[in-house]
Structure 1
Amino acid sequence: MMNDWKVARLRNRNGTVLRCATAASLTLMLALAACSFGPSGTPPAMPQPEHYGALAQPAQTVAAEGVSQRFVAAAKPVPEWWKLYRSDALNALVDEGLRNSPNLAAADKSLAAAREQLKAQIGSSLLPSIDAGAQASRQLGLGIPEFGPPTALYNLFVGQIQAQYTFDLFGAARYANASLAAQVDQQAFQLDAARRALAANIVTGAIGAAALRAEIDTTERLVSLANDDARDARRRYELGSASRSDALNAEQSAASLAASLPGLRAQWLATRHALAVLLGRTPDQAPEDIDLASLAVPQDVPVVVPSALLATRPDIQAADAVVKAAAAQVGVATAQLFPSLSLSASMGKGGFSWPTALSGAGALWSIGASLSQPIFHGGALLAERRAAQKTYDAAVLSYKQTVLAAFQNVANTLASLEQDSQALASAETASRASQGAFDDATARVRLGAIPPRAARASEQQYRNAQLSAIRYSSARLSDTASLFQAMGSPAGLTQQANAAGSRHE
Structure 2
Amino acid sequence: MNKSLFAAVLAMPMLLAGCNLAPVYKQPAAPVSAQWPQGDAYGVGGKRESSAAADIAWRDFIQDERLRKLIALALENNRDLRVSVLNIERARAEYGVARAQQLPQLGATASQTANRVPDALAPNGQATINRQYSAGLGISAFELDLFGKVRNQSEAGLQQYFGTQEARRAQQISLVAEVANAWLTLAADQERLRLAQDTLKSQQISYELSKRRFDAGATSGLDMYEAQTSVEAARSDMALYTAQVAADRNALTLLAGVEVPPELLPQGALVSVTGMAALPEGLPSDVLVRRPDVLAAERSLQAASANIGVARAAFFPSISLTASAGSASGALSGLFKAGSGAWSFVPQMTLPIFTAGANQARLGVAQADRDIAVAQYEKAIQSAFREVADALAQRGTLGERVASQAALAQASEKSYRIHEARYQKGAESYLNALVSQRALYTAQQGLIGARLAQASNQVTLYKVLGGGWQ
TM-score, structure 2 normalization: 0.85
Q: In structure 2, what is the equivalent of residue 289 of structure 1?
A: 266
1:485 Cα deviation after fit: 0.3
SS in 2 for 1:316: helix
Give the aligned residue type for 1:289.
Answer: P
Distance in 1 between the 2:465 and 2:185 partners? 22
Query: Structure 2: how far apart are the matches of 1:191 and 1:428?
Result: 41
1:350 Cα deviation (Å)?
1.8
Classify 1:190/1:85 alpha carbon distance in 2 versus 1 (closer, same or farther; 3 Å).
Answer: closer
Q: Verify the 8 A CA contact 1:118 1:181 in the aligned structure 2.
A: yes
Q: 2:291 matched to 1:316?
A: no
The amino acid across from 2:399 in the alignment is S
Matched, 1:72 2:50: no
- Asked if structure 2 preserves the Cα contact closer than 8 Å seen for 1:276 and 1:286, the reply is no
CA distance in 2, matches of 1:117, 1:334: 22
Is 1:37 matched up with 2:21? Answer: yes
CA contact under 8 A between 1:345 and 1:365: conserved in structure 2?
yes
Q: 1:149 to 1:290 in 2, by over 3 A?
A: farther
Aligned to 2:13: none
SS of alignment partner, residue 126 of structure 1: coil
1:141 is the counterpart of 2:111: no
Query: Does structure 2 conserve the Cα–Cα contact (< 8 Å) formed by 1:225 and 1:460?
Result: no
Compute the displacement of 1:92 (Å): 1.2
Matched, 1:422 2:400: yes
CA shift, 1:450, in A, is 7.6
**1:348 counterpart SS class:** strand
Instruction: Tell me, yes or no, if structure 1 residue 201 matches structure 2 residue 178.
Output: yes
Within 5 Å, which residues of 2 pair with 1:347-358?
347-358=325-336
Give the letter aligned to residue 374 of structure 1. Answer: P
* Cα distance change of structure 1 residues 452 and 355 upon mapping to structure 2, 3 Å threshold: farther
Do 1:53 and 1:408's aligned partners in 2 also have CA atoms closer than 8 Å? no
More off after superposition, 147-156 vs 356-365: 147-156
Instruction: Tell me the CA shift for residue 481 of structure 1.
Output: 0.4
User: Is structure 2 residue 384 aligned with structure 1 residue 406?
Assistant: yes
Stretches (4+) displaced over 6 A: 146-150, 283-286, 438-442, 447-460
1:469 aligned onto 2:444: no
3-state DSSP class of the match of 2:36? coil
Question: CA shift at 1:112, angstroms?
Answer: 2.1
C-alpha distance 280-308 of structure 1, shift in aligned 2 (>3 A): same
Deviations 1:92-148 (A, max 9, x none): 11122112223212311220231132123212x221211001113543234426999
Q: Decide whether the 8 Å contact of 1:437 with 1:458 is kept in 2.
A: yes
Which SS does the other structure have where 1:300 is aligned?
A: coil
Q: 1:485 maps to which residue?
A: 463
CA distance in 2, matches of 1:114, 1:245: 73
How many equivalent residue pairs? 446
| Among 102, 112, 121, the residue aligned to 2:79 | 102
Which shows bigger deviation, 239-248 or 109-118?
A: 239-248
Match of 1:500 in 2: none
Distance across 2 between alignment mates of 1:59 and 1:383: 53
Structure 1 gap ranges (5+): 1-34, 61-69, 495-505
> Residue 214 of structure 1 aligns to which amino acid in structure 2?
E
Report the more deviating stretch, 259-268 or 76-85: 76-85
Other-structure match for 2:4 = none
How far 1:230 moved relative to its partner? 2.5
The farther-off stretch of 429-438 and 312-321 is 429-438
CA-CA distance at 1:39 after TM superposition: 3.1
- Residues 1:85 and 1:153: Cα distance change in structure 2 (over 3 Å): closer
In structure 2, the residue matched to 1:187 is 164
C-alpha separation in 2, matches of 1:143 and 1:285: 91
- Superposition pairs for residues 12-161 of structure 1, below 5 Å? 37-53=21-37, 55=39, 58=42, 60=44, 71-75=46-50, 76-77=52-53, 78-81=55-58, 83-123=60-100, 125-144=101-120, 151-161=127-137
> Does structure 1 conserve the Cα–Cα contact (< 8 Å) formed by 2:294 and 2:381?
yes
Distance 1:187 1:412, change over 3 A: same
Q: Partners in 1 of 2:39 and 2:126 — Cα distance?
A: 98
Q: Is the Cα–Cα contact under 8 Å of residues 277 and 283 in structure 1 kept in the other structure?
A: no
How far off its partner does 1:449 sit? 9.9
Question: How many angstroms apart in 1 are the aligned matches of 2:36 and 2:145?
Answer: 47
Letter aligned with residue 452 of structure 2 = S
Alignment of 1:176-255 (within 5 A): 176-255=153-232
Render the CA deviation track for 1:56-111: whole Å, top value 9, x for unaligned. Answer: 66554xxxxxxxxx722254114324643421111111122112223212311220
Q: 1:374 aligns with which of 335, 348, 352?
A: 352
Distance 1:489 1:89, change over 3 A: closer
Q: Distance in 1 between matches of 2:46 and 2:429?
A: 48
Match in the other structure for 1:18: none
Contact 1:43 1:323 (C-alpha < 8 Å) held by counterparts: no
CA contact (8 A) 1:327 1:392 kept: yes
CA drift of 1:263 comes to: 2.0
2 CA distance for matches of 1:436 and 1:285? 37
Shift of 1:464: 4.1
2:188–2:452 Cα contact (<8 Å) kept: yes
State the alpha-carbon separation in 1 of the partners of residues 124 and 251 from structure 2. 84
Find the counterpart in structure 2 of residue 393 from structure 1.
371
- Cα distance in 1 between the residues matched to 2:453 and 2:125: 95
Instruction: Kindly indicate whether the alpha-carbon contact (under 8 Å) linking 1:72 and 1:302 is maintained by their aligned counterparts in 2.
Output: yes
